[in-house]
Amino acid sequence: MEFESPDVEKDFPGLYASESGKKSNESDFSDEAHERVSKKDLLIGKRKDKKDSKKDRGSPSKAKKSKPFKFPSKKEKREKSREKDSKEKDSDKDKDKKKDSDKEKDKKKELKTKLKLKERKKLKHGEESLDIAEEQPIFGVALPLALERNRCHDGVEIPVVIRDCINHIQETGLCVEGLYKVSGIKSKVQHLRRLYNQREAVCLSDYDIPVCTSLLKLFMRDLPEPILTNKLVARFEEAASLKDMAAREAELKALVQNLPACNRELLGWIMKHLSEVAVHEKQNKMNIQNLSLTLSQPLQMSQKAISALVQHCDAVFPDIKLTKYIAPLTSGSPGLPESAEAIAEELKKQESLLGQIHSEMNAGFVTKEREELLWEVQRMITQLKRKLRLLEKGLESSQKSVGDETDAVLPTNDSGKSASSVLPTTTTNGSKSAAGLPTKEEEPALNTAVQTPVSSPTVGEPAPPLNPAPPPPAATKHVVEAIIENSDSVCSAQDGGAVLNKDSSTDQTSSSSVDELALCLETEELLILVNQLQSQIANEKAKVANLRAEILSYGGNPDYCHFLIENCSRDFDASMCTDNPEAEDGALLKQVVAETQVLQLQKKNLTQTIIEEQANCINLKIQMKLLQIASS
Amino acid sequence: MSKKPSGGVQPALHKVIMVGSGGVGKSALTLQFMYDEFVEDYEPTKADSYRKKVVLDGEEVQIDILDTAGQEDYAAIRDNYFRSGEGFLCVFSITEEESFQATQEFREQILRVKNDEQIPFVLVGNKGDLDEKRKVPLADAQSRAHHWQVPYVETSAKTRDNVDKVFFDLMREIRSRKMEENKMSNGRGKDKSKRKKLRCALL
Ligand SMILES: Nc1nc2c(ncn2[C@@H]2O[C@H](COP(=O)(O)OP(=O)(O)O)[C@@H](O)[C@H]2O)c(=O)[nH]1
Ligand SMILES: [Mg+2]
């Protein structure tokens, strides 16, 4: 491919007039103005956002994509000492006046913040309201700052806002005609910018693709310094003009190494993404030339530079892979990960998030919401750690001594809470989550089933104090808790009362040794069940691995399978891409999707039945054994 | 299984923070209260947080417990936690004089952040089961508590002695404190002050 005339650098036709009018140094001012307005809007409330996003539905964004987004497996570690590097380089750039003034502004703000902080300390808790969007925005600040304030918590060092944009476009936008050329509705773009600046949770996939592309352009255009840096931008331009392909590639490669790590990473992400966009030029009508024309101004580099970087992106950014960002779990998430590795990975994310919350709070941005979040993330970390620890210990904890347990079971001297309450409830939860199906409905069924033997009067006379050796009661609890970690501790506490009543009534009617025996038997059975389920899970995992390998061998991406299915069912009628043979046969697709859904439902029901049956089996086995013991 | 209907309203949430030197049994008390378990091995905490639904004098409430490190290294983040705490269990070990001395420091830190002498606070002397190794005389602890005008309770995370008591006593204090505040600011004081603050920010 040839890239023509070099001198058009500053020659931007009015193709994208709607957005491109502003020069980057103007945008700083407009920035402030926006924030002023935004505050008012914010006071009016967040409900508006939801409406906005609803209205966004059904536009070109939902165009069918032809291929699943190629997000290779994550765990791509690019740990480079970004921080000091980039910060030092930053301070080098003294020639740039605007930057200086920026810095001063920042310093003033910092001072102001500190003052407010002092004032605040005298105020009552919870009344703080420094505006983070105003004091520490994400848009319009130097890249290292933006990154610091808008981190991806999975180690990829680009701002979340860009990651979200690229993510959404890669998933559903690659075939949208005029991608990056068509501008999004301005008010929505501004609204999104405000949300990001405000650190609100944003669901970008609710927005149209053009809104996303405009948002990305806005972020890039608002960077006070070009992503290629003032120092290197001219050399990049030179390199891009080299006629000899190999020389050009080599030179670009070398130059990129001189960029601060965060610039390099972001540049790589954008170029790799643009290269994907160009691959779909048949559908989106955006070849490299069109793209570079459209993006030259926002990216603050010449068309030629863009073309060259896109063209050579694989060689220049060999270590950058576009991976989907999965945000840290929240309390609303369905459950904790199961495997130790997944837990460890999630823990890292949560720790990163926690660090961010702390630094925001330390900077004086203390709101009720952020405090809430702090405790919540902390809670998530605690749960993850507990689960990890117990997974690591495995089931060996059955060696726990009984002594502690008897102490722990002493009745409490306070209201509403029983020391001995946890057992049956956690048992329930244990089998539940071990089955990997934390559906709420299962709980009552199991609960009653498992509890029955304990309170059932089947055992008339006191049985001999036979203690089936291995798992003493203490072990039960530990084993059981090893598995329940993802279930909310709330339920165990809640059920405590009911269980307590039952326990004490049993105590009165039959001897406690029967009770203990029943519990031991139950423990035994549950341990067996746990083992069974664990081996089943292992089996399933092996199968999954095989299937993933198979998908890969067909050239697909296993991580994106579910997106395919989801998108099919949601908007397969909007298929704009012609190179997708299935999409053309809409009726067939519809049918398959419907069938799949029915089957999924059936599967769910069956699983539930199995779980109930398992509980019943345990129940019966315990009764049998109790009777056997009683009669012997 | 169903508890009293709370009318669809979220149960009250009380935020409790465990403070005290390392090794005095903050985590042990927390875990005993949360899960009825006692862990023998000592594993330094960074910070952990737990939530539990309990019935406090017939009312269903939630308690959030934040179990802190107690070491200096985390002082930077400590204030962020202290600020959001509504009540504090200040724990020392009756077998360790130094930990008792340290409570002074913790009390000061809390008062500095909360700026409130009345903050719900219980002085907790833990490891009561190790009375034979006692280094902190009961009278000393009691007189310090008296001086601060806070309750003093001796607990054992090992035997579960008084574990519930300290948490429930503290929750009661927090609850009555909140009721007082509400009364003072005419029912919905918190909301009001918040709104006022926002309006100020606008100007
Ligand atoms: N005998 C006894 N040991 C305790 C008690 N509470 C805690 N411990 C032990 O003291 C050590 C430190 O406890 P831990 O809860 O980790 O202290 P923390 O640093 O304050 O959280 C652990 O080994 C516990 O087993 C108690 O009430 N009695
Ligand atoms: Mg601890």
Q: Is the CB of B127 under 6 A from ligand 1?
A: yes
Residue ranges of the domains in chain B?
Answer: 13-175
Question: Mean of the pLDDT values across residues A524-545?
Answer: 78
In the structure, what pLDDT confidence band is assigned to residue A335 with cuts at 50, 70 and 90? confident
Q: Which residue among B18, B39, B158 has the greatest number of ligand 1 atoms within 8 angstroms of its CB, and so is best to mutate?
A: B158
- Which ligand is nearest the CA of B45, by number? 2
Taking the centre of ligand 2 as the mean of its atom positions, its distance from the CA of residue B176, in whole angstroms, is 28
If one counts every other C-beta atom within 10 angstroms of the C-beta of residue A612, the result is 15
Ligand 1 contacts CB of residue B93 (under 6 A): no
Residue A37 at interface with chain B, using a CB cutoff of 8 Å: no
DSSP A440-503: TTHHHHHHHHHHHHHH-TT--SPPP----SS--HHHHHHHHHHHHTTS-HHHHHHHHHHHHHHH
Ligand 1: residue whose CA is nearest its atom 24: B40
Indicate yes or no: CB of A382 within 8 angstroms of CB of B198. Answer: no
Percentage of chain A beyond pLDDT 90 is 35
Residue found by looking up tokens 């307590």 in the block:
A500
pLDDT range class, residue A558, cuts 50, 70, 90: low
- Closest chain B CA to residue A361: B80
- Measure in Å the smallest separation between the Cα of A341 and chain B Cα atoms: 21
B29 vs A: CB within 8 A: no
Q: Say how many residues make up chain A.
A: 632
- What is the least distance, in Å, from the CA of B145 to any CA of chain A? 22
Interface of A with B in 115-144 (CB under 8 A): 121-122, 124-127, 129, 131
How high is the pLDDT of residue B74? 61
Does residue A500 register a pLDDT over 50? Answer: no
Q: Does the pLDDT at position A139 exceed 60?
A: yes
pLDDT grade, residue A196 (50/70/90)?
very high
Output A201 or A46, whichever has higher pLDDT: A201
More confident residue, A76 or A103: A103
Dihedral of the alpha carbons of A410, A526, B1, A333, in degrees to the nearest 10 = 110
Using a CB-CB cut-off of 8 Å, the residues of chain A touching B81 are 374
What is the ipTM, given to two decimal places? 0.86
Render pLDDT for A25-40 as a digit per residue (tens, 0 to 9).
Answer: 333 333 444 444 343 3
Please identify, by atom number, the ligand 1 atom nearest to the C-alpha of residue B22.
19
B 167-186 residues inside an 8 A Cβ radius of A: 168
Q: For chain A, list the domains and their CATH numbers.
A: 135-316 (1.10.555.10), 340-394 (1.20.58)
Q: Could you say which ligand is closest to the alpha carbon of residue B42? A: 1
Task: Pick the atom of ligand 1 nearest to B44's CA.
Answer: 19
Whole-number pLDDT of residue A228: 97
Give Cα A579 distance to the centre of its chain: 31
Report the alpha-carbon distance of residue A479 to residue A393 in Å, rounded.
10
Residue A99 has pLDDT above 90, yes or no: no
Mean pLDDT in chain B? 86
Residues of chain A numbered 484-513 and touching chain B (CB < 8 Å): 488-490, 493-495, 497-498
Residues of chain B with C-beta less than 8 angstroms from the C-beta of A417: 54-55, 164, 168
Give me chain A's average pLDDT, please. 68
What is the per-residue pLDDT for A538?
76
Asked if A158 and A266 count as a contact pair (C-beta separation under 8 A), the reply is: yes
Q: Taking CB atoms and an 8 Å limit, are B47 and A412 in contact across chains?
A: no
C-beta separation of A266 from A228 below 8 A? no
pLDDT in tens, A431-490: 333 333 333 333 333 333 333 333 333 333 344 334 444 444 444 444 344 433 434 333
Q: Is A606 exposed, middle or buried (0-12, 13-18, 19+ CB in 10 A)?
A: exposed
pLDDT at A392: 83
For residue A583, the model assigns a pLDDT of 52
| More confident site: A401 or A561 | A561
Q: In what order do the strands lie in the sheet with B47-56?
A: B47-56, B59-68, B12-19, B87-93, B121-126, B152-154
CB contact under 8 A, B38 and A497: no
In chain A, the largest separation of any two C-alpha atoms, in whole Å, equals 100
Asked if pLDDT for residue A208 goes beyond 80, the answer is: yes
pLDDT given for residue A581 in this prediction: 53
What pLDDT shows up at residue A84? 37
Among the partner-chain residues B36, B62, B114, the one whose CB lies closest to the CB of A125 is B114
Mark yes or no for CB contact B168/A481 under 8 Å.
no
Check whether B177 has a pLDDT greater than 70: yes
How far apart are the C-alpha atoms of A432 and A428, rounded to whole Å? Answer: 6
Does pLDDT of A545 surpass 80? Answer: no
Q: What is the DSSP string of A140-200?
A: TS-HHHHHHHS--TTS--S-HHHHHHHHHHHHHTTT-TTTTTSPPPHHHHHHHHHHHHTT-
CB of B30 within 6 A of ligand 1: the answer is no
Average pLDDT over residues A564-593: 55
Looking at the predicted structure, is the pLDDT value of residue B122 above 60? yes
Q: What percent of chain B has pLDDT over 70?
A: 84
Residue A421 touches partner B, C-beta closer than 8 Å: yes
User: Cβ contact (<8 Å) for B76 and A358?
Assistant: yes
Of B19, B42, B91, B166, the one to substitute when testing ligand 1's pocket (max ligand atoms within 8 A of C-beta) is B42
Q: How confident is the model at residue B75 (pLDDT cuts 50, 70, 90)?
A: low
Q: Which H helix or E strand runs over B49?
A: strand B47-56
- Among residues A361, A136, A382, A331, which one has the least CA distance to residue B84? A361
Best residue among B18, B19, B27, B154 to mutate for probing ligand 1, ranked by most atoms within 8 Å of CB: B27
Strand pairing category for B59-68 and B47-56:
antiparallel
What does the alpha-carbon distance between residue A632 and residue A280 come to, in Å, rounded to a whole number?
77
Q: Whose CA is nearest to atom 16 of ligand 1?
A: B42
β-strand pairing of B152-154 with B87-93 = unpaired
pLDDT of residue B108: 94
The predicted pLDDT at position A584 comes to 59
| Mean pLDDT of all residues in A168-184 | 95
Task: Flag whether pLDDT at A334 surpasses 50.
Answer: yes
Q: How far is A31 from chain B (nearest CA, A)?
A: 17
Q: Contact at 8 Å (CB) between A270 and A310?
A: no
Please indicate whether residue A629 or residue A186 has the higher confidence score (pLDDT): A186
Is the CB of residue B129 below 6 angstroms from any atom belonging to ligand 1? yes
Q: Say yes or no: A370 contacts chain B, CB-CB below 8 A.
A: no
Residue B175 alpha carbon to ligand 2 centre in Å: 26
What architecture is the B13-175 domain classified under in CATH?
3-Layer(aba) Sandwich (3.40)
Over residues A48-97, the pLDDT tens digits come to 343 344 344 444 443 444 444 544 433 333 333 333 334 344 444 444 44
Tell me which of B29, B36, B114 to substitute to probe the interface with A (most A C-beta atoms closer than 10 Å): B36
pLDDT of residue A30: 39
- DSSP annotation string for A291-360: HHHHHHHHHTS-HHHHHHHHHTHHHHSTT-------PPP-TTSS---SSHHHHHHHHHHHHHHHHHHHHH
For residue B15, give Cα distances in angstroms to A412, A461, B62, B108, B184: 22, 48, 9, 19, 21
User: Bigger pLDDT: B133 or A493?
Assistant: B133
- Cα B22 to middle of ligand 2, angstroms: 7
Over residues B184-200, the mean pLDDT reads 48
Whether residue B69 has its Cβ less than 6 Å from ligand 1: no
Residue B73 sits at the chain A interface (C-beta within 8 Å)? no
Mean predicted confidence (pLDDT) in B172-201: 65
Contacts 24+ apart (CB under 8 A), A592-599: A593/A565, A593/A568, A593/A569, A596/A565, A597/A569
Q: How far apart are CA A27 and CA B163, in angstroms?
A: 59
- The chain B residue lying nearest A443, using CA atoms, is B1
State the nearest Cα–Cα gap between A35 and chain B, in angstroms.
11
Cα–ligand 2 centroid distance for B43 (angstroms)? 7
